[in-house]
Structure 1
Amino acid sequence: MPRRALSEHRPYLLLSLLAGISYFFVADSAIGGAWLMVWKGAAVAFLAVYATQRGRGLDGALIAIVMALGALGDVAIEIDLIAGGAGFALAHLVAIALYLRNLRIKRPGSQNAAALALAVFAPLLAWLITRNDPDWEIATGYAALLGLMAATAWLSRFPRYRVGLGAVLFIVSDLLILGGEAGGLDPAVAGWLIWPLYYAAQFLIVTGVVQTLRVKPTAG
């Protein structure tokens, strides 16, 4: 990335990092609920601004929308788990469209198998975690969409060590949320792990997609 571009656009990533890292330390503080929700949402909202500024073409717009919907989900989930999940479900649908537009031309059998495993095991694990919960259908259905997002990310032309890994971290983070809600995981443990994994996932995804688009804007 050119030096000038770094000086002009790094602030959005730095602001995101500042909000994301600091939120981890204040999440359980006595700060007012509304302010804390804004603080939380700002972390990924700044990633959406970064994607808007640095992305190119329709794919750049799509990744910006993914991040914006993620920020909306971050805020909504503090009010209602289902509402937050709906925001993330919309984000996953847009992400799937993005990744399908950018599938790798050559996809080895091993990578297809890895993608299939992500698509299958995400909802399977969600069902195992929540099968005794009255809302297990919603959780499993959401996880199926999450798994499809991760599978298509894995098969896309975007770097697997960033976008693919980010999608996997997203799965882990959401499974931890389900585990905490279902009572199968100590909420204190979940609290320490969920936000770092989730934020790292979003950061890896957006930077991996945007930097790829700047080098090679279209698939092929």
Structure 2
Amino acid sequence: MNASADRAIDIGYAATAVAATLAGALGHRRLAGITKPLPIALLAVRTAVGARRRSSVDNVVLAGALAFSAAGDRAMLLEEFADDPARKDRRLQTGASLFAGAQLCLTGLMLRRGARPRPAGLFLRTTILAESAAVMARHRPRLLPVLGAYGNTLALMSATADDDRLPQPRMRTGGWLFLASDLTILNRRHLITDPTLAGLAETWVLASYFAAQWLLITGLTDAD
């Protein structure tokens, strides 16, 4: 029964993720506002279906990861469509702070599964994210402390997801996709001026983000 429910939810997740990705890529504010919350809401339902298989601690931390992600999605949606630069900066800081909470929850769950980040993997991911830090230092330096701290939580999560004690390659792929999605956000904002390329970049940002969330959350829950 649970397997059948999971399959139905996964189909719904894929459909709503496609809808949210297209809405965001096309810059349709109203449609994006309706569709963007749906994939994470469906992941929350999928997680709840199997809650009895997990410990109370794991359920609480999973709920935290999903709640932080849902709130972060909302903040980033508001940032995307904000006209005032100061408001955009505040929304971006809020979104980064919320997603830092989500990354720490995901990392905590992986640690409870016995995973440990390797120093080399953590260094590689931190080095890659240094590119986006350089972009921020050039264009929005006052946001660097908050976004830099978020980048550290993202690198830690992605490096921990690389551990072979977790379901692979699902977790490893999810960790890399999350990092690639967030890396593209800042580059799209400040380095891409062509509207067509910007739309393609936003398509990648959203598609890779939703894929990463599904891979990470289901990787952690399906193994229970």
Query: TM-score w.r.t. structure 2 length?
Result: 0.79
1:50 maps to 2:56: no
1:121 to 105, 123, 127: 127
Unaligned stretches of 5+ residues in structure 2: 79-90
Runs of 4+ in structure 1 over 4 Å off: 28-32
Specify the code of the residue in structure 2 equivalent to 1:24. Answer: T
Q: Cα deviation per residue 1:136-185 (whole Å; 9 max; x = unaligned)?
A: 33322211111011122223732231112101100000000011223357
Structure 1 distance, partners of 2:145, 2:32, is 30
Which residue pairs with 1:200 in the alignment? 211
1:157 maps to 2:165: yes
Contact 2:93 2:147 in 1 (8 A): no
Specify the code of the residue in structure 2 equivalent to 1:176. Answer: T
Q: Report the more deviating stretch, 166-175 or 55-64.
A: 55-64
Unaligned stretches of 5+ residues in structure 1: 214-220
Which residue pairs with 1:95 in the alignment? 106
Change (3 A) 1:202 1:46: same
Superposed, 1:130-149 pairs within 5 Å as: 130-133=136-139, 134=141, 135-149=143-157
Contact 2:96 2:146 in 1 (8 A): no
Superposed, 1:37-116 pairs within 5 Å as: 37-55=33-51, 56-57=54-55, 58-79=57-78, 80-104=91-115, 112=118, 114-116=120-122
Contact 2:24 2:203 in 1 (8 A): no
Structure 2 distance, partners of 1:184, 1:138, is 23
Contact 2:25 2:203 in 1 (8 A): no
Query: TM-score w.r.t. structure 1 length?
Result: 0.81
Q: Cα offset for 1:90?
A: 1.0
Contact 2:26 2:199 in 1 (8 A): no
Q: Cα deviation per residue 1:60-114 (whole Å; 9 max; x = unaligned)?
A: 442233123212211121112222222211111211221222224xx7xxx8255
Specify the code of the residue in structure 1 equivalent to 2:156. Answer: L
Structure 2 distance, partners of 1:76, 1:17, is 22
Structure 1 distance, partners of 2:214, 2:17, is 10
Structure 2 distance, partners of 1:189, 1:31, is 15
Change (3 A) 1:156 1:74: farther
Number of equivalenced pairs: 204
Q: Cα deviation per residue 1:14-62 (whole Å; 9 max; x = unaligned)?
A: 22222111222233558553x5323101111211221122241122442
Specify the code of the residue in structure 2 equivalent to 1:67. Answer: L
Identity %: 27
